[in-house]
Amino acid sequence: MSSQRLRLFTFAAPSRFYSLSGSLLPWLWAAAALLAALGLYIGFFVAPTDAQQGESYRIIFIHVPAAWMSMVVYLAMAGWAAIGWIFKARMASMLARALAPSGMVFTLIALATGSFWGKPAWGTWWVWDARLTSELILLFLYLGYIALVEAIDDVRRADHAGALLAIVGAVNVPVIYFSVRWWNTLHQGATITMSAAPKMQGTMLTAMLLLTFAFWAYAFAVVFVRARAIVLEREHDAEWVRGLALPTRVAARTSS
Amino acid sequence: MNWGSAGEFFAMGGYGVYVWGSYGITAALIGFEAWLTLRRRRRALCDALASASSEAPR
């Protein structure tokens, strides 16, 4: 049991997270670019026209992945914030802070692309149905979390206040997910579920899944970069930070 | 191949504004986020090393 706990907390040290994330980053960026290129190629040049929606359906290749990421990133953010609070793990709290802006961007993409799709499909840019409204609330939760942690000067208090907000707000994620089942919504129901085969044409589904993985790889990459920035901002007094090499011309510029 | 010409590709069956508007906003948001975040990390590294080399008491 204790050896399991050691492994669990190995990368809780900011210095170890910093070096691990640094070595993973090039692979993550490469994976994101490759998967996106492949997914977009299949989406635009292989997947056929939709019988009902014509070419406008091709927005799905970014709309659904972004929406899925907006929910997954929120749960990850709330999870890490909770772990940071419960176990007093600084790195976990830093990860939560790193996740928030990315989750917010995915939520914005989901809302904007959804709006652009809704206009030709439903005749309106917006409707206050359960799915759209709860996704908008998700945006406000992200904004609220970011504003809250930035507003409180004491870093640990800010982390804990943010954790509370993130955890309480997590109830919104199942609401978003089940909204199309619990309420009569203009937004269509689930095409992909855990219980049945996907009701989507093969190449369309392939393209959408490739872009989902591309968004995932991109999210890891950009969240790692942001977490590294936060680590440097918070841990600048640490010995290991002083040990990081910099080219001399940059050092000369910054010391002026 | 779905498209007879580049013109057809950009027109997207009449839905060009909606499709390319969506992809454009997505590319802009992602590009902006990536750029801002990389800039933040670079600044944090410079600041951390600058404060380390200046040896100012904290």
B7 min Cα distance to partner chain A (Å): 14
pTM of the model: 0.90
Instruction: Say whether residue A6 is in contact with chain B using an 8 A CB cutoff.
Output: no
CA distance A196 to A43: 23
Q: Specify if B4 maps to a domain.
A: no
Tokens of A128: 């206050």
Q: Which residues contact A60 (CB under 8 A, 6 or more apart)?
A: A117, A204, A208
DSSP string, A35-55: HHHHHHHIIIIIS--BTTTBT
pLDDT category of residue A5 using cuts at 50, 70 and 90:
low
Residue A150 phi/psi, 5-degree rounding, is: -75, -25
CA distance B16 to A75: 35
The string of pLDDT tens digits covering residues B21-54 is: 999 999 999 999 999 999 999 999 999 988 877 7
Cβ distance A255 to B47 under 8 Å? no
Query: Does B54 or A85 have the greater pLDDT score?
Result: A85
How far does CA A131 lie from the centroid of its chain?
18
Tokens of A209: 């899944």
CA distance A189 to A183: 10
Cβ distance A241 to A232 under 8 Å? yes
The string of pLDDT tens digits covering residues A123-167 is: 999 999 999 999 999 999 999 999 999 999 999 999 999 999 999
Work out how many domains chain B is built from and give that number: 1
Q: In A147-159, which positions are buried (b, 16+ CB within 10 angstroms) versus exposed (e)?
A: ebbeeeeeeeebb
Q: Specify if B38 maps to a domain.
A: yes
Residues found in chain B: 58
- What is the structure's pLDDT at A256? 46
Cβ separation B33–A105 shorter than 8 A: yes
Instruction: Say whether residue A44 is in contact with chain B using an 8 A CB cutoff.
Output: yes
Tokens of A84: 């940071």
User: CA of B12: which chain A residue's CA is closest?
Assistant: A55
- What is the structure's pLDDT at A249? 44
Query: In the beta sheet, which residues pair with residue A50?
Result: A54
Domain layout of chain A by residue ranges: 62-236
CA distance B25 to B29: 6
Q: Which domain holds residue B24?
A: 10-49
Q: Which residues contact A220 (CB under 8 A, 6 or more apart)?
A: A24, A28
- What is the structure's pLDDT at A218? 98
- What is the structure's pLDDT at A44? 93
User: With a CB-CB cutoff of 8 Å, which residues 173-212 of chain A face chain B?
Assistant: none
- Selected for mutation to probe chain B from A19, A109, A250 (highest B CB count within 10 Å) is A109
Q: Specify if B55 maps to a domain.
A: no
